[in-house]
Structure 1
Amino acid sequence: MTGQNSNQAVQMSRRSLLVGSAAIGLSTAILPLVAIAADAVDAVSAAGAIRPFRADIPETVLIDLRQRLAVTRWPDDETVSDGSQGVQSAQLRELVNYWRTSYDWRKAEEKLNAAPQFLTNIDGLDIHFIHVRSKHENALPLIMTHGWPGSVFELLNVIGPLTDPTAHGGQAEDAFHLVLPSIPGFGFSQKPTSTGWNPQRIAAAWDMLMKRLGYNRYVSQGGDWGAIISDALGRQAPDGLLGIHVNRVERATTFPTAAAQALMNGTPAPDTLSPEEKMVFGEVRDFVNNGFGYAAIMNTRPETIGYGLADSPVGLAAWLYDKIADWVFTTGDPETALGKDAILDNITLYWLTNTGPSSGRIYWENAASGAKLTPINVPVGVTIFPGEVYKPPKKWLSKAYPHLVYYNQVSKGGHFAAWEEPELFSQEIRTAFKAMRP
């Protein structure tokens, strides 16, 4: 590297947060400085360049967060003794008090900065990603995508097991080169300022990212939106995509037609379903009737809910915590599954990057896209975790995934499988992709 290029890399590293801040609006208190830094980087960033990134939130922004938490205007307590009206007051007050008095964001930054992070511009947006190459020869390149209400924090604990399997009970031939991008509008990735960033476009961007990194053959994995993006990538089947693995299955492509009609009409499960299938049907009906409100809002009015998410850290925390609590294996008790600090790492990232509103727009984009969910003709692996919202039996998947090469139901873990059970999740990934390795 020349001296000029070396200096430029150092400057980019120091400015990388500020560039992201300009795009995602950390705080009006630092906007003037951000704008200057953004102009400077725009002048030196070539198309397709990969720039180093480090998280380094200004202390003034953290002080502002604690001050906002201290002056929260709380709603009345719920009028029921359970969570049927939403996040319970006592539970959230305890979390927020810990957030204000004891939580340390700098430790979260250390976790992020322990991994190599980068920015690169794809299709007009700066994409933030973690990229860890394995020391093992013939490691398989893997792009893995988080979901909502999560972030790359969900995936940090699987970096070691997947890139260095020999240190985590695996074999050298199980190794992966790992790429963990942040979805546009999430975390430190830039926010779209126009429409069109739906899962199909994101999938195409992920293929471009992998090719830009020199990975001409690779696999993709995801849960939640990461699964939808991986499915979209599988439908596009770009040259070099060897297969996908998901730990969340799209109901629209796999639910039996008669069951879907019964669900829509409010009638009982069809008699053609087995007892196991009727149980899955019942769980889906309960979710649609009692747990789908968040998605209905973001499918149709992400901007309306966004004002509260941008202005109130407690409002944001309640919105995210509600689904984290619902979807972990220890339903209603996410602290047992993840711990307060891990939950707050994720919530605080949303607050500091002001991505509560922008992250919700992927629901609107997906609903507006009208994408045709055709069968996926690349090899597919599926792992069903018992705390997942929708747990289809294997025979329901054949139409959506005609080349299903791996299916397994495991005994623990929920919707946030990599976050909750990193070792088990990593073993599933190793096993699922064995048949897809070149």
Structure 2
Amino acid sequence: MDPAATLGAVPADWCAVLRSDFDNLREACMESRPFTIHVADEAIEDLHRRLWNSHWPGSIDADSWEDGTSLSFLKRLRDHWLHQFDWRMQEGRLNRLPQYVSTIRGLGIHFVHQPGVGPAPMPLVLTHGWPGSFAEMERIIPLLADPGANGGDPGDAFHVVVPSLPGYGFSQAPAAPGVSAREIAAIWRELMAGLGYDRFAAQGGDIGAGVSCWLARSFPESLVGVHLNYIPGSFRPGRDKSTAPLSAEETAFLDKAAAFAAAEGAYAALQATKPLTLAFALSDSPIGLAAWIAEKFRAWSDCGGELERAIPIDTLLTDVSIYWFSGNISASLRLYKELRSQPLAFEVGERVGVPFGVSVFPRELPMPPRSWVERALNVVRWTCMPAGGHFAALEQPEALTEEIRAFFRPLRSRDNV
């Protein structure tokens, strides 16, 4: 589906209403088009037809996840998707977020732009990953933008910007190769500058962590600081005979990462090498798409094997539906190929001076020790969290929010923003 087709009518006085509370919105309105999600009725009907006509594979054990997504789980999810899940309700809720589209470097970039409420909100760009979407940040946006209304200190407020990665959600897919995390970081910098933010903060996990690292590496003068809840798998500090030898903890991490890649990394290898072959199947079958995404949410979340303990089924189906209705699954998979071609590898002696904070959630994918990260990044805060997994903004929104607030609190000053 063409994301432009989802643009809806917005009241003519929309910008005027918000301008009184947000000094930078005028510039944003001049350069951005307000965006409303609206999936055509025909697209919803087509989805339902495909769900009704699902073909099921055989399974040795229908309840087991050992060979991939459980057959019995997916049948239950299909029934919920058909008979209980209400896309229009999810669409209406998401449309309460202030959304826009801006054309940057030839790509239509969809983003949420939520003004902060406080004495001096800090601009903050939040970046999601795969198989997430901008909707992953829905619960933390109000906590960050209006802490005073959510049990916090108004002095911790942020102007929150949540873009959809190119080729994800309602952002336009690249038409040519070359749009890697490094290029996306450059797009984000232009987006933030277009909103009037010459200095800003960044936060991310998964692919969003890579984009945030590239922001600090490529544009240190624009970054106040970076908070991460994941260290990208391609992160490699520069090493040669002159650098400190690996510690036992670092060696153990590299062994653990290699074991994870061997046991669980087939999805990434496929997406980074032959993404289009997979995309044919996932673009044609909503059941196939749901199976591919649900297995990762279960494996990577702190759910104890029961996915819905961490991710409600409607939340999961909202994410899957965004991939389905946008038609962007092919581009989202292909980003892995771009990431592989341009890893986050540092030169010997290279170290980014921008302050970094890292929150380590216990059920996260393999995470390096602090010493490994400090070889290339200026880590000033490192927190081991009590619960949560890869999808921290969904699983532990309050805990993640407090970590973001705490990290950036000492970085707030008139000279810094």
1:148 aligns with 2:121: no
Distance in 2 separating the partners of 1:220 and 1:399: 20
Q: Is the 8 A contact 1:237 1:378 kept in 2?
A: no
Per mean C-alpha deviation after superposition, the further-off stretch among 82-91 and 288-297 is: 82-91
Residue aligning to 2:325: 352
Residue aligning to 1:419: 394
Distance in 1 separating the partners of 2:239 and 2:58: 43
2:285 alignment partner AA? S
> Structure 1 residue 79: deviation in Å?
5.1
Per mean C-alpha deviation after superposition, the further-off stretch among 293-302 and 103-112 is: 103-112
Per mean C-alpha deviation after superposition, the further-off stretch among 56-65 and 246-255 is: 246-255
Q: Is the 8 A contact 1:140 1:218 kept in 2?
A: yes
CA change 1:231–1:157 in 2 (3 A) is same
1:62 alignment partner AA? I
Q: Is the 8 A contact 1:207 1:238 kept in 2?
A: no
1:179 aligns with 2:161: yes
Residue aligning to 1:301: 274
1:236 alignment partner AA? S
Query: Aligned residues, how many?
Result: 386
1:211 aligns with 2:193: yes
Correspondence 1:155-234 to 2 at 5 A: 155-234=137-216
1:312 aligns with 2:294: no
1:183 alignment partner AA? L
Distance in 2 separating the partners of 1:370 and 1:395: 20
1:289 to 253, 257, 262: 262
Distance in 1 separating the partners of 2:287 and 2:198: 44
1:236 aligns with 2:212: no
Distance in 1 separating the partners of 2:247 and 2:203: 33
Q: Is the 8 A contact 1:144 1:180 kept in 2?
A: yes
> Structure 1 residue 49: deviation in Å?
2.4
Correspondence 1:18-417 to 2 at 5 A: 19-21=3-5, 49-78=31-60, 82-253=64-235, 273=248, 280=253, 283-369=256-342, 372-374=345-347, 375-401=351-377, 403-417=378-392
Q: 1:175-213, CA deviations, whole angstroms, 9 ceiling, x for partnerless residues?
A: 100000000000000011111111111000000000000
1:337 alignment partner AA? A
Distance in 1 separating the partners of 2:174 and 2:196: 26
Per mean C-alpha deviation after superposition, the further-off stretch among 138-147 and 325-334 is: 325-334
CA change 1:67–1:252 in 2 (3 A) is closer
2:361 alignment partner AA? F
CA change 1:284–1:369 in 2 (3 A) is closer
> Structure 1 residue 340: deviation in Å?
0.4
> Structure 1 residue 355: deviation in Å?
1.4
Distance in 1 separating the partners of 2:256 and 2:135: 28
1:429 alignment partner AA? I
Distance in 2 separating the partners of 1:310 and 1:137: 46
Q: Is the 8 A contact 1:283 1:390 kept in 2?
A: yes
Distance in 2 separating the partners of 1:430 and 1:399: 25
CA change 1:72–1:257 in 2 (3 A) is farther
> Structure 1 residue 394: deviation in Å?
2.0
Q: Is the 8 A contact 2:114 2:145 kept in 1?
A: yes
2:157 alignment partner AA? A
Q: Is the 8 A contact 1:196 1:365 kept in 2?
A: yes
Distance in 2 separating the partners of 1:256 and 1:120: 36
Q: Is the 8 A contact 1:66 1:100 kept in 2?
A: yes
CA change 1:228–1:192 in 2 (3 A) is same
Q: Is the 8 A contact 2:6 2:37 kept in 1?
A: no
Distance in 2 separating the partners of 1:238 and 1:394: 21
- TM-score, normalised via structure 2 length: 0.87
> Structure 1 residue 413: deviation in Å?
0.8
Secondary structure of residue in 1 paired with 2:259: helix
Q: Is the 8 A contact 2:99 2:112 kept in 1?
A: yes
